[in-house]
Amino acid sequence: MLKIENLSKAYGDKKIKAVDNISLEVKPGEIFGFMGPNGAGKTTTIKMIVGLLKADSGKITINGIDNQKNIMEAKKQFSYVPDTPVLFDKIKAIEYLKFMADVYGVSVQDRERVFEEYTDLFEIKKAINDPIGSFSHGMKQKLALVGALLHDPELFILDEPMVGLDPKSSFELKRIMRERCDQGKSVFFSTHVLEVAEKLCDRIAIIKNGQIIEVGSMDQLRAQAGSQESLEEIFLELTES
């Protein structure tokens, strides 16, 4: 579903590598967690996957499509929700959702069904005709999630998705993530909430100083650590050593 091969990105005159020759693969039907300390290269990697940054070297394929050579087709395969969604504050929420549906070519019939389902699920239906600028951070996050789910993407990419969400919405988002993967789709997300990652992810990659230092299921991470420690304990041992 998502394949990253020898990906690198450097910044500044000294060409300090934010991402240093990383490779990983997210399989169909898999929730894949991507974690690391602040400044480890998580967001830079995600921005290269979604096409907001150009890689210095390496290759990214999404559902078999090269995101550098066939940009628009690659973008049709995924949805992306950043940690702080940048939305159009002066338009109404319903106008934003209609715009997103138009961008992805979602039929009128399908969009109405999705609008109804997800605005009700995330409890923003009553505010759907309000300007986005009146929304709290959490409500903007919910609106961005609804917009990202409109075209039923094969790959759902999330950067710190639980930030700003109330407990019920966090629960519903986790349920949606699992249901999508049960249908053969994939989820790739970064988070600092290690308890969530431990319970939810099929596999996890840990990045430090731009390099992948460990990848595997919780059972594999525990086997490599030689103990039955929690993800939090394994993470701290790996990233602070």
HEC per residue, 145-197? HHHHHCCCCCEEEEECCCCCCCHHHHHHHHHHHHHHHHCCCEEEEECCCHHHH
Write down the pLDDT at residue 25: 96
87-91, 186-190, 204-208: least confidently modelled range: 87-91
pLDDT at 236: 87
Task: Judge whether 153 and 79 are in contact, CB under 8 Å.
Answer: yes
For the stretch 66-101, what's the b/e string if a residue is b when 16 or more beta carbons lie within 10 angstroms of its beta carbon?
A: ebeeeeeebbbbbbbbbbebebeeeebbeebbbebb
Separation between Cα atoms, residue 9 and residue 50, nearest integer Å: 14
What's the pLDDT score for residue 86?
Answer: 84
3-state class (DSSP) for residue 17: strand
| 28 token code pair | 């169909």
pLDDT of residue 16: 81
Beta strand pairing call for 78-81 and 155-159: parallel
Q: Is the pLDDT of residue 84 over 90?
A: no
What confidence score (pLDDT) does residue 14 get?
63
What the block records as the tokens of 85 is: 């969604």
What percent of the chain lies above the pLDDT cut of 70?
99
- Where would I find the H helices in the chain? 42-50, 71-75, 93-103, 108-121, 137-149, 167-182, 194-200, 218-225, 231-240
Q: Residue for token digits 């109804």?
A: 116
Q: What is the pTM of this model?
A: 0.90
